Amino acid sequence: MNRRVSNDGDTAVYISVGTGRSRIRATGGRPPDACYVRAAVPSRDAILRRASAASAAVALALVSACGGGERQDAGEDPATYPVEVVRASFPDRQRLAERSELRIAVRNVGERTIPNLAVTIATPEGGTETEAFGRLADEADLSSRSRPVWIVDEGPGETAYANTWALGPLRPNRTATFAWRLAAVRAGRYALTWQLAGSLTGGARLRREDGRVPRGRFDVVVDRRPAKVTVTAGGKVRSG
């Protein structure tokens, strides 16, 4: 039986349907390239073969999506790397809508390259349950109790890990700086904690010269009075 399945300009395409293979043919204009289409109702063996092939394809896709089955820390040296925290600063008194900057500068004082310098920002009471630069709301019936205290205008390299940023490898005797530009949107007293790591998988550990984990805390008071905003002759907005 011939069935017309499309009509493109001067060419009408027909398909001959049978119990075996079916062939596409064209009338008028340039004939299409040779093409064969299987019967509409394949045999039971064909269905089983296709199901097995589909399962294998899905498994292959999942393996590929996971990096070919390799561990995320493949090639990472599970070692301890000495570092120096050159700077860790965040203004302890701020105003609403005032732009401020949080900076953490780290120097590799060892002889090996740190695989991936990372930092995690959290709150003492909420940990990573609270979004970075936020707070835990008092209401217990909320789907998410995390509420912002600061809005991030600009930050370093983001990662898929909660409240964590990474700057990549850090070679010996080099310094890398995490920097965020933020603006406070809620008045009150708040605390932020930070902790450095040598990778996102935990295999590369960082230590200060005294053996302690490089970590710290910022205690900040955000004044309810909004910052004064001015516009310079060049059109830049300044707050203070």
**41 and 155 share one domain:** no
**86 and 129 share one domain:** yes
Q: Calculate the average pLDDT of the chain.
A: 76
Report the C-alpha gap between 226 and 240 in whole angstroms. 9
**98 and 185 share one domain:** yes
Q: Are 225 and 96 spatial neighbours (Cβ–Cβ below 8 Å)?
A: yes
158 belongs to a structural domain? yes
Stretch (H or E) spanning 33? none
**54 and 167 share one domain:** no
pLDDT tens digits for range 11-53: 444 444 444 444 444 444 444 444 434 444 444 454 444 444 4
pLDDT tens digits for range 212-237: 999 999 999 999 987 676 777 776 66
Question: In terms of Cα–Cα distance, which of 183, 222, 208, 187 is closest to 94?
Answer: 222
184 belongs to a structural domain? yes
Which pLDDT score, from 0 to 100, does residue 78 have? Answer: 78
**217 and 193 share one domain:** yes
**44 and 105 share one domain:** no
**45 and 95 share one domain:** no
Q: Would the pLDDT of 169 be above 70? A: yes
74 belongs to a structural domain? no
What's the half-sphere exposure (Cβ side, CA atoms, 13 Å) at 204?
Answer: 27
Strand partners, 190: 220
**56 and 88 share one domain:** no
Which pLDDT score, from 0 to 100, does residue 146 have? Answer: 73
Structurally, the chain folds into a number of domains equal to: 2
**94 and 17 share one domain:** no
Q: How far apart are the first and last CA of the chain?
A: 82
218 belongs to a structural domain? yes
Read off the pLDDT band of 147 (50, 70, 90): confident
Rounded to two decimals, the pTM is 0.64
**167 and 229 share one domain:** yes
**113 and 214 share one domain:** yes
Range of the domain at 60: 2-65
